[in-house]
Structure 1
């Protein structure tokens, strides 16, 4: 079984950026965007694919989920939205990890669109999974959070 998405987790640039994001969010009282979150989004996305009978390759799905917030450090440095920055950054990481050009483009589109409430396809799946990964009902900062989602429980 070809599990290219595992290459992403070992990729030097991915880990450098993840370390930078974690350092920038060290004092953050709201949800963070570390590896735990990225894997939560990947796993929730995969569960949704299985439950709904959707046709997404696991390598594409996990790659998109692992990279969907990789542009956060750029956003924190006021270099634009994390969606666009992440899509640009993802290209090099995906190439290094053996993804084909068509796969890279699909993943970049999903990263660019994952923040949109009314996206479609893989971007919409990432958006739903990103929201479902947050346990607002257990968060001490929920009252001041800008997120509109205040999950009542753990169901999607």
Structure 2
């Protein structure tokens, strides 16, 4: 987890998270901030343990922390934040000592986190943890949220 903690202190990572915060200052729906990223990581670790998967905790945390760093790019240019995030994450992962194979797995997970997670266990965990981590129960914006437009009720699982 030393690499993850270095990532958390990285000025570039902090800058991307600040750009997300600035872009979402008036957003009424869920935000893409550090609290969300950490929730995704923790739910991802729970899923890994429940399913007895051989995925390192540091990989889950790195993927979760980086999966939405491109959200501000989506607001500015329309490029999907999964694609933008993977591009922004690559240099950060290399800088903080993730191997080529680890980087490839994390980038694939980030790139597929909006569409089912891709073909890797890490990608599928990230996709599910991203959805399951949201605190929809008691949300003030639930009546207009796209996740509940068909009358679904929020269900707390983690």
Deviation, structure 1 residue 52: 1.3
Q: What is aligned with 2:82?
A: 83
Query: 1:41-120, aligned counterparts within 5 Å?
Result: 41-117=40-116, 119-120=118-119
Structure 1: tracts of 5 or more residues without a match: none
Separation (CA, whole Å) in 1 of partners of 2:2 and 2:126 = 19
Separation (CA, whole Å) in 2 of partners of 1:38 and 1:118 = 16
User: Structure 1 136/74 Cα, relative in aligned 2: closer, same or farther at 3 Å?
Assistant: same
Tell me, yes or no, if the aligned pair for 1:136 and 1:151 is still in contact at 8 Å. no
What is the TM-score of this pair, normalised by structure 2?
0.91
Q: What is aligned with 2:144?
A: 144
Structure 2: tracts of 5 or more residues without a match: none
Tell me, yes or no, if the aligned pair for 2:109 and 2:126 is still in contact at 8 Å. yes
Separation (CA, whole Å) in 2 of partners of 1:125 and 1:36 = 18
Deviation, structure 1 residue 78: 1.8
Deviation, structure 1 residue 118: 6.7
User: Structure 1 81/124 Cα, relative in aligned 2: closer, same or farther at 3 Å?
Assistant: same
Tell me, yes or no, if the aligned pair for 2:117 and 2:125 is still in contact at 8 Å. no
Secondary structure in 2 aligned to 1:110?
A: helix
Deviation, structure 1 residue 137: 2.3
Separation (CA, whole Å) in 1 of partners of 2:74 and 2:82 = 9
Q: What is aligned with 1:125?
A: 125
Cα deviations across residues 46-69 of structure 1 (Å, max 9, x unaligned)? 011112111101111110010000
Query: 1:14-33, aligned counterparts within 5 Å?
Result: 14-33=13-32
Tell me, yes or no, if the aligned pair for 1:110 and 1:123 is still in contact at 8 Å. yes
Give the superposed CA RMSD. 1.7
